[in-house]
């Protein structure tokens, strides 16, 4: 007699359940991509969803597991945020390629952790080739090596840990944050908050991040770098690195990388580029100039779950000098890593925050192999083009204002109807966003810039059309009227 545990692993039952799930997912994808009556976000307050899923877990199932699973997946699909809806224009998380989602199922079933080669032999080989392709795309030299890790926050921390070991002048990994002079990193004021978190995690405190002024387009001012360095020195901090953004989070601004690289060379600083969002511009012949100079970086972070249409999370951390990839986590674990001096690139756990890392490269490798590279080039170019068309539409409208011409596919704007005084514009944007999000017909976010609150769209869905954005403006006007 088959036990419940044995039945849970039964291949034919899995086959039937998986076939039914694929039908569910295909029907869902068709409905989501078509938009129509499906809301982008079926909004309910948090307490309501807590109650909806408040159910005791049974000791044994009350009916056939496949039926229970199908019913549960129907509830999950119905109540979740629908990023494949073409009117999702919110955060920098893309509508992932369906093929990549299938790879995640394979990864989960195989469960090959990648700390050491023997636990993830295929994924390790794939990661090597994915990273080599990304480095080549950026124009980095053949000496470049790196790792895939769980998101831009982990990626930036990994890069700064390596910078610390390379430039601190003392062994901060083994000696601690106080084994030498206090350190700092020069960072644009518009940089992502994960950099401030990273320096605090490393024990540097608030002064571990020295802000550098930006211009009216929210790009770092190269002429402000010297002053920032002098300010850090006056405060008793040793600057070890300078960071530039390729596609900042708030506005999508691209810092001028060439002069930042020149500054880093002049002062012997580590040059790190946070290209989580914008490194993908290197794929587009039309927009590649935005990242000119990125090939001079000592380290680069690039999120595949943004410009490469992958499910979250998969982030590349690339090091110009491949040997530096070991500097972030310089330690030994004898039960995993064998040999006194051997530091094989095939043992990924030597260079990542994770030990049991999922098969991140599988989905990237599979989509590059099966779909080709042109689909990604076209996606980047089309989204950047669309952002410029949308900004032009907003600029031509008398009741909308663009914060800054977009560098990439992020557009910040606000509704400025004549009947609302300027003093009330901030509150108006917040009300309009809440109205659209809770109604479910669009999903967008907001940000605060020096001139106030702006609505913010990331045109990251490759099937969002200009007509959807026209409808967004009409929806905002209608919400303004109540």
pLDDT per position as a tens digit, 389-421? 999 999 999 999 999 999 999 999 999 999 999
Helix axes 121-138, 360-371, angle to 10 degrees: 60
CA angle 311, 82, 22 (to 5 degrees): 70
Please confirm whether the linkage preceding 313 is cis (ω < 30° from 0).
yes
Residue partners of 233: CB distance under 8 A and separation at least 6: 239
The pLDDT-based confidence of 337 (bands split at 50, 70, 90) is very low
pLDDT at residue 48, rounded to an integer? 93
pLDDT at residue 173, rounded to an integer? 82
* Mean per-residue pLDDT over the chain, rounded: 93
The greatest distance separating any two alpha carbons of the chain, rounded to the nearest whole angstrom, comes to 77
The pLDDT-based confidence of 73 (bands split at 50, 70, 90) is very high
Distance, first Cα to last Cα, the chain: 64
pLDDT at position 61 over 90: no
pLDDT at residue 286, rounded to an integer? 98
11-40 pLDDT, tens digit each = 999 999 999 999 999 999 999 999 878 999
Highest mean pLDDT among 173-182, 326-335, 387-396, 472-481: 387-396
For residues 200-222, average pLDDT: 94
Q: Please, are residues 404 and 216 in contact by the beta-carbon 8 Å criterion? A: yes
Q: Please, are residues 413 and 425 in contact by the beta-carbon 8 Å criterion? A: no
For residues 224-234, average pLDDT: 96
pLDDT at position 256 over 60: yes
Structure tokens belonging to residue 108? 């989960």
pLDDT at position 80 over 90: yes
Query: By three-state DSSP, how is residue 150 classified?
Result: coil
pLDDT at position 331 over 70: no
pLDDT at position 341 over 60: no
Annotate 200-227 with DSSP letters as a single string: HHTT--GGGEEEE-B-TTS-B-GGGHHH
The pLDDT-based confidence of 333 (bands split at 50, 70, 90) is very low
Name the percent of the chain lying above pLDDT 70. 97
pLDDT at position 248 over 50: yes
Write down the pTM of the prediction.
Answer: 0.94
Q: Nearest to residue 231, comparing CAs of 239, 243, 223?
A: 239
Q: Nearest to residue 191, comparing CAs of 150, 233, 141, 241?
A: 241
pLDDT at residue 171, rounded to an integer? 83
For residues 380-389, average pLDDT: 98
Instruction: Determine which of 226-230, 292-296, 320-324 has the lowest per-residue pLDDT on average.
Output: 320-324
The pLDDT-based confidence of 66 (bands split at 50, 70, 90) is confident
Query: Given the structure tokens 């390790």, which residue do they identify?
Result: 124
Residue partners of 176: CB distance under 8 A and separation at least 6: 203
For residues 378-396, average pLDDT: 98
pLDDT at position 172 over 60: yes
Give the whole-angstrom CA distance, residue 264 versus residue 283: 25
Q: Please, are residues 248 and 191 in contact by the beta-carbon 8 Å criterion? A: yes
For residues 432-441, average pLDDT: 95
pLDDT at position 318 over 80: yes
The pLDDT-based confidence of 339 (bands split at 50, 70, 90) is very low
For residues 114-120, average pLDDT: 88
The pLDDT-based confidence of 170 (bands split at 50, 70, 90) is confident
């Amino acid at each position: 007699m088959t036990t419940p545990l044995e039945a849970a692993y039964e291949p034919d039952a899995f086959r039937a359940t998986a076939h039914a799930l694929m039908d569910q997912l295909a029907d869902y994808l068709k409905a989501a991509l078509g938009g129509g009556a499906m809301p982008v976000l079926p909004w309910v307050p948090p307490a309501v969803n807590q109650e909806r899923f408040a159910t005791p877990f049974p000791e044994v199932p009350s009916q056939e597991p496949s039926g229970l699973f199908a019913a549960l997946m129907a509830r999950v699909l119905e109540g979740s945020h629908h990023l494949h809806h073409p009117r999702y224009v919110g955060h920098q998380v893309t509508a992932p390629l369906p093929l990549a989602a299938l790879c995640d199922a394979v990864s989960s079933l195989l469960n090959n952790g990648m700390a050491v080669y023997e636990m993830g032999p295929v994924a390790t080989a794939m990661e090597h080739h994915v990273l080599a392709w990304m480095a080549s795309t950026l124009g980095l030299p053949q000496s470049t090596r790196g790792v895939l890790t769980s998101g831009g926050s982990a990626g930036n921390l990994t890069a700064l840990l390596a910078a610390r070991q390379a430039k601190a002048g003392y062994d901060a990994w083994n000696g601690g944050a106080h084994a030498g002079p206090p350190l700092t990193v020069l960072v644009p004021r518009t940089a992502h908050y994960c950099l401030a978190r990273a320096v605090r995690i490393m024990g540097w405190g608030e002064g571990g991040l020295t802000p550098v002024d930006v211009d009216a387009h929210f790009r770092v001012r190269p002429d402000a770098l010297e002053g920032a360095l002098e300010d850090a020195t006056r405060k008793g901090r040793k600057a070890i690195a300078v960071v530039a953004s390729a596609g900042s989070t708030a506005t999508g601004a691209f810092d001028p990388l060439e002069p930042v690289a020149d500054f880093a060379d002049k002062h012997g600083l580590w040059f790190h580029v946070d290209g989580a969002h914008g490194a993908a511009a290197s794929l587009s012949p039309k927009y590649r100039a935005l990242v000119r100079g990125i090939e001079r970086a000592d380290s680069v972070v690039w999120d595949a779950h943004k410009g490469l249409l992958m499910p979250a999370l998969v982030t590349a951390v690339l090091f110009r000098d491949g040997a530096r990839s070991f500097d972030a986590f310089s330690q030994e674990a004898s039960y995993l890593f064998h040999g006194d001096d051997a530091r094989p690139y095939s043992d990924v756990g030597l260079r990542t925050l994770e030990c049991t890392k999922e098969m991140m490269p599988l989905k990237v490798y599979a989509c590059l192999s099966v779909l080709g590279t042109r689909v990604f080039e076209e996606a980047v170019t089309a989204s950047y083009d669309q952002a410029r068309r949308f900004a032009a539409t907003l600029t031509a409208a008398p009741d909308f204002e663009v914060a800054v011409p977009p560098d990439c596919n992020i557009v910040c704007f606000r509704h400025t109807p004549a009947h609302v005084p300027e003093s009330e514009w901030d509150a108006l944007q917040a009300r309009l966003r809440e109205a659209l999000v809770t109604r479910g017909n669009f999903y967008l976010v907001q940000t605060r810039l020096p001139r106030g609150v702006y609505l913010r769209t990331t045109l990251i869905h490759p099937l969002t059309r200009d007509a959807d954005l026209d409808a967004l403006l009409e929806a905002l006007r209608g919400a303004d009227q109540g």
